[in-house]
Structure 1
Amino acid sequence: MSDAPLEVSWFAALCDDDYERLGVPDEALLSSWPHCRTIALAAEEAGFDNILLPSGYALGIDSVAFAAALAPHLRRMHLLLAVRVGELVVPQMARQLATIDQVLEGRLTINIISSDLPGETLPSAARYQRTREVMGVLRDLLDRRPVAHHGDFVEVEVDPPRIATVDGRCPPLYFGGLSEPAKEVAAEAADVYLMWPDTVDATAALAAEMRERAAAHGRDLRLGFRSHVIVRETEAEARAAAASLISAVDDEQGRAIRERSLDSGSAGVARQAELRAGADDDGFAEDHLWTGVGKARSGAGAAIVGDPDQVRATLERYREVGIDAFILSGYPHAAECDRFARHVLADLDHAPLRPWFASRP
């Protein structure tokens, strides 16, 4: 365990990922400004430290525009804004992010997405090289350093923009990926390495590996864990809620849903499929780690399931093996946000991570 605080974040379903039952579209739960604002304001009221604003292309609404609209409505919660590498010229991205940080009074964090662009497929090594270049130039500009970068993907000589973040430094960069290039980019350039759900032992091994990789570059790396959660007053009720969530999805429909995502062929998605394949007949990979969510969505494909004490104890087990931050979600997102806050969050010792980063030399 590190000396950083435990950050507990929720998830704003900006990419049409909100359901009563997975695979059954509900017009009222599609991504829109009113619906996603409701989720975010519920997380603020419930006491979460941060909220992830995800970014896609084909589905949902734009994360940067949403963040700019939401920021004036927040009093204390941080925003974890996902930006897709390559979609914006880096100096423009720096101005946008600094402006949003100003509106938030210094509470912005950034999730870097190393995704292919719509209509484009780059080899993995090239895609991550682009990500490495963008992260380096973005950090320099937000740290108020002039840039002269002549790379494979970013060609720019420019001074930092006049507008700066509140503290004049780049907000923490959150980044994930299981491929070898992704791990190296995280070790070299990220502040928080994000993992998808896995067993406690596998999480411990990856945590140790990533801290060793970062140390080889003379860096510290905090670790985050992105997972769904289903908490009810009893374990039986939680398991029943999990079964109900996927009751309308057959294998063919689930495969079609997963393949809509641009990351459907990634190493992380492959690991989620492997976790599902090794689960028991009820979909549990180990006690309270249920893989059924991945039957009908790409990306993070498992949920922590149980009563309040079981969910809290499971989070603590992950914390003990090195996790510093949790990004949680549940279906429907506003309702599960309220349940988790009442039953679990109130008894966790937690705080935003960004002030810890700001306190470093």
Structure 2
Amino acid sequence: MERRSFLKNAGIAGVLAAGAAPAIVKAQANIRWRLASSFPKSLDTLVGGAEAFAKNVTEATGGKFTVSVHAAGELVPAFGVVDALQQDTIECAHTAPYYFFGKDEAFALDCAIPFGMNARQMTAWMYEGNGLKLLREFYAQFNIVNFPMGNSGAQMGGWYRKEIKSVADLNGMKIRIGGFAGRVITKLGAVPQNIPAGEIYQALEKGTVDAAEWIGPYDDLKLGLHKVAKNYYYPAWWEGSTQFSLLVNNKAYNALSNEYKAIVRQAASDAHVKILGRYDGHNPTALKQLIAEGAKLQRFPKDVMDAAFKASREVYAEINGKNANWKKIYADYSRFQADAYQWQGIAEGSFDQYMASQKL
């Protein structure tokens, strides 16, 4: 009997019993992945997003493919997830890729850069522009496959022990700040500190840092940062949005059937929408509560914004001159951003400005 006829007529039970279809057996075998998060359990926006991803994978496969979610420090340190992926210690991770700019500045282009794209622009670049293609090529160097999985939207500028009246006030200030935005504020005289979310409160309380930024009202309230510093500045010029990513070990991903690969992609996309929705849904109420509890909401002075913008362009020019990965991706990123802002300035920007001025 020809093999094709055998497969057609014998039925799956007979095939499995005869051991004639190892590929089918592989596709049906139970799979268990470990997801290491770079975030503490207290941040239900982010850990909750990873849990939503895991739940979707389990439900879509009838329990044959499960993902256990581990908060920062449970399997590996918050900033150790990329090394763990490369060492085959874990199958996947949920993180903010700019944490790993020390390995290569191009990691930040999958997350946030100073004066970069907003959330809608970033998603458009990833899915309708060249973003996902270019970043997949980059991550292949690290044996990783990436998927967008969440965005914070525009962030707040953080909590400061003293008021910032001009750019001169940043001189010598120790600031907990994510990503390589630290390189920009260094040009302004500040001293950047890269501290995991779970350690920010203690650092600010003890005076290890003079200021600290995290994400925005909902998460900042959970971390209690307003209890140890009252001056709450905006906007976070270094994070017009922050895209979080699901990073998957290339070997683990390629071992999946095409069906399971599609489920991973779709589950990550669903979590991507959920995380941004949660931030947009909860930040307004949280901001009101922070103000009620004593937070002093303040806008960064224009000279701070202008000096930071100028410094960011100097940093990008420096990186362009020495990092081929960055130069290739940033060229496309910046072109897409320029076009996107021309459109959004006309449509979204003008509408948002008008609506913000109305008493709803």
Given the two structures, how large is their TM-score scaled by the length of structure 1? 0.26
TM-score by length of 2: 0.26
Q: Flag the structure with larger Rg.
A: 2
